[in-house]
């Protein structure tokens, strides 16, 4: 795993606004985008669509409870 991502305690939230037709398209875009960013365990915490697009809060989990946490190691 990316050594910087390992310092994140649990999750990385992406807060953004996506131009899209509806909520489904917005969520699809953000999931694919986060996948391309290397975030595999993704959830959409919040998504609301109006007019031009969707206000989205997407979460990429770096560590779930019970994982082996990278931040337990001392930073280099």
Partner 1 sequence: MGKKVVLAPLDPVHDIGLKMIRRGLEQAGHQTWLFPPDYSPQEIVNGIIEHKADVVLISRTLGYGVEEILARFVDLVDAAGVREKVKLGVGGMAIRAELAAELGFDAGFGPGTPVEAAVAFVEGREFKPSREGTEKKKIDMVGTYDYSFNNASIKAMLDNITNQIIEWSAKRSSPGVERAQLREEILKQEGLGRDTASLRKEYAKLCDDVIADYYTKGSLHAQTRGLEQAELDSLEQYVERTRARMRPLDIRHTRKKPAVFVQYGTGCPFMDIAHIKIAEGWGADGVVHFDPSWGARTEGFLEGYLTHQQDGSVITPENLRCIRSALEESSLWQVRAHRGLNTPETVVLAGECGADLTKINIVYGALGAGTDPSRLTVDAVAAIKYAARYNLPFDVVTNEELCGVPAHKAFAGMLIVANLALALGAKPILQPLFCYSPEVMINKAMEDNYIDFNAAKLIALRQIVDAPIWPGAPIGFLTQNEDRVQSSVSTGLHAGLAASLGVDAISIASADEAYSGGPIAGASRVDTLQSVRETFRFMGQAKIEPTRQAEDMAGELLAGIETALRETVQVGDFVAALHEGVLGNRDEGAYPGRSGKDTVTGG
Burial bucket for residue 25 (CB in 10 Å: 0-12, 13-18, 19+): middle
Q: Which stretch binds partner 1 (CB under 8 A): 1-9, 10-18, 33-41, 67-75?
A: 10-18
Q: Which of 1, 9, 36, 50 is close enough to bind partner 1 by CB under 8 A?
A: 50
Q: Note whether 64 binds partner 1 by CB under 8 A.
A: no
> What is d(CA 43, CA 73) in angstroms, rounded to the nearest whole number?
26
Q: Is 53 in contact with 19 (CB distance < 8 Å)?
A: yes
List of residues contacting partner 1 (CB under 8 A): 15-17, 19, 21-22, 24, 44, 48, 50-53, 55
């Amino acid at each position: 795993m990316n050594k910087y991502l390992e310092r994140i305690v649990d999750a990385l939230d992406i807060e953004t606004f996506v131009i899209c037709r509806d909520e489904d398209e917005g969520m699809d875009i953000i999931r694919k985008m986060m996948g391309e960013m290397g975030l595999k365990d993704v959830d959409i915490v919040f998504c609301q669509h109006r007019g031009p697009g969707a206000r989205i809060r997407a979460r990429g989990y770096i560590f779930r409870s019970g994982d082996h946490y990278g931040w337990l190691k001392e930073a280099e």
